[in-house]
Amino acid sequence: MKRSRSISPAVAILVAEALAFVVVLASLPGQTFAGKTSAFVRKDEKAVDMPLDSDVFRVPPGYNAPQQVHITQGDCDGLAVIVSWVTPDEPGSSLVLYGTSENDLILSANGKVEQYRYYNYTSGYIHHCTIRNLKYDTVYYYAVGVDQTLRKFWFTTPPEVGPDVPYTFGLIGDLGQSFDSNNTLTHYELNPRKGKTVLFVGDLSYADNYLNHDNVRWDTWGRFIERCAAYQPWIWTAGNHEIDFAPDIGETEPFKPYKHRFHVPYTASGSTAALWYSIKRASAYIIVLSSYSAYGKYTPQFKWLEAELPKVNRSQTPWLIVLMHSPWYNSYNYHYMEGETMRVMYEPWFVNYKVDVVFAGHVHAYERSERISNVAYNIVNGQCSPVPDQSAPVYITIGDGGNQEGLATNMTEPQPNYSAFREASFGHAIFDIKNRTHAYYSWHRNEDGYAVEADKMWFTNRFWHPTEESSAYVMHSLH
């Protein structure tokens, strides 16, 4: 007698979502696939920053209470966490108490404290402490503010690195601290897909838009994101608003506030600077690049990336994700072609190593590309148009977090063939890895309900399952 086989809940969900996607496509027989510009229209207005007395900027009560608490991954594999916070009145303790029981924090790690000056501003006391030797897939509770005002938080470590480990990432970029920023963060927090780690593609506080780069706006931003960033890691990418280069007021050290406030595990991946580095998390290998550091041949970033890409073991971490700030493919009339020189340098590597997806920000709107490349062009052969390339990444611009300057609404016309979907709205995205072959991606605009997917796509892994992904192919294969 044959025994019937049962399938796991994860596989059942994967099959159900795939069938739902096919049904939606099959119901649109008259659809054209030259790319879609969304018909959704929202008000074209400047983003308005929340006032300094907003509740999201509230200073926690108690003497020298830790504030601006945030965490990020602290090593290559996910067994360490960097905890950062600020004390306003005096240094206090840099000790972190932690453990797997909320009421029994039996372990401790000691960090370091630093300060910086920027023009007429002096920072609070910035603490960074790396907790090491954690266990995978475990909830840890931690406390900062020892011997003064103790504040407690928690986080969950990722599962052990492996090829079929499911994991859900959130994507946010160009966040700022406007009312739209608050909507984006709330929308992300309430998304039923429940991102476990934020991949942040640059432009954090927009403090540099204020008079003399008012660094008080770094403090308000740190308190604003604490409600999320103290409980799940944010993986940091530097954008142009982090440069803070202002020689007119005597500030000539690029990225000064950013580098003091946001530590990352760059030395663990052999990087010589905190602006480019890599981590492994679950089944993903994440490479962070700096659009505003030297990246030409022989520069430190170039040499690091050249050595880094061959190290990626797709049998261990199938999903190869790259984060940067300035997009390489952009069909808006904002920041047009600003990423072109970096694309010329690195795009052949991305195709050769079969990068799955590149997330960028900078343009204050949303756009997703087809899988395309422009590596054939050699300046004399005339082959200067992007072409379909199933070894190339999908390029996603997600610079729509809220910012301070409003949305990028002016698009190039006609929409280029490589652009699959674009829309000028604020929002966030989710990249939900199912196993080594499939991941489900969705973009969520702020105006919609929490579960609404304004754009979506099934990704098939370029190394393990490199199927054709273009919309036209999907429709053709259904008939």
Q: Whole-angstrom Cα distance, residue 303 to residue 237?
A: 19
Q: Where are the beta strands (DSSP E) in 132-195?
A: 139-144, 151-156, 167-172
* Residue position matching structure tokens 């470590």: 157
- The predicted-structure confidence for 429-450, as pLDDT tens digits, reads as follows 999 999 999 999 999 999 999 9
Region 179-200 average pLDDT: 97
Q: Residue 209 carries which side chain, given as an amino acid letter?
A: N
Q: Whole-angstrom Cα distance, residue 465 to residue 468?
A: 9
Burial 181-208 (b: 16+ CB within 10 A, else e): bbbbbebbbebebebbbbbbbbbbbbbb
Residue 379 or residue 288, greater confidence: 288
- Of 3.30.420.40, 1.10.230.10, 3.60.21.10, 3.40.50.300, which CATH number belongs to 162-202+275-478? 3.60.21.10
Region 161-184 average pLDDT: 98
Q: Whole-angstrom Cα distance, residue 393 to residue 401?
A: 22
- As a whole number, the mean pLDDT across the chain is 91
Residue 404: per-residue pLDDT: 84
Region 416-437 average pLDDT: 97
Residue 22: per-residue pLDDT: 38
Region 236-251 average pLDDT: 98
- The predicted-structure confidence for 26-39, as pLDDT tens digits, reads as follows 333 333 345 888 87
The answer, yes or no, to whether residue 163 has pLDDT greater than 60, is: yes
Which contacts of 113-118 are long-range, i.e. CB under 8 A and separated by 24 or more positions?
113/87, 114/260, 115/260, 116/256, 116/257, 116/260, 118/213, 118/215, 118/244, 118/251, 118/256, 118/257
Catalytic status, residue 476 = no
For the beta carbon of residue 324, count every other beta carbon within 10 angstroms: 27
Query: Around 217, how many Cα atoms within 13 Å sit in the side-chain half-sphere?
Result: 24
- The predicted-structure confidence for 75-121, as pLDDT tens digits, reads as follows 999 999 999 999 999 999 999 999 999 999 999 999 999 999 999 99
* Planar angle of CA 284, 140, 67, nearest 5 degrees: 95
Residue 278: per-residue pLDDT: 98
Q: Whole-angstrom Cα distance, residue 350 to residue 339?
A: 15
Region 347-367 average pLDDT: 97
Residue 2: per-residue pLDDT: 37
> Which of 70, 335, 428, 438 is an active site residue?
335
Region 457-479 average pLDDT: 71
Q: Where are the domains of the chain?
A: 162-202+275-478
